[in-house]
Amino acid sequence: ESVSEVFALVDMDGSGTIEVTELPVALRVLGIEVLKEEQKKIAASLEDGSGLLTLEAFMGVVLDYGSKLDQDEQLSKAFKVMDTESMGVITSKTLQGICKDLNEPVQLTELDSILEELVGDTQISESTFLQLMKQSSLYSF
CATH 1.10.238.10 location in the chain:
2-66, 71-135
Q: What is the pTM of this model?
A: 0.48
Question: Which CATH class for the 2-66 domain?
Answer: mainly alpha
Contact 46, 59 (CB under 8 A): no
pLDDT at res. 141: 43
Helices 92-101, 71-82: crossing angle, 10 deg rounding: 100
Q: Which of 27, 22, 25, 21 is nearest to 3 (CA)?
A: 27
Q: What pLDDT was estimated at residue 132?
A: 87
Mean pLDDT by 10 residues, the chain (141 residues): 83 89 85 78 75 87 71 81 89 89 89 93 92 72 43
Fold that domain 71-135 belongs to in CATH = Recoverin; domain 1 (1.10.238)
Other CB atoms within 10 A of residue 74 CB:
19
- 36-46 vs 55-66: helix axis angle to the nearest 10? 140
d(CA 107, CA 130): 24
What is the distance of C-alpha 62 from the center of its chain? 11
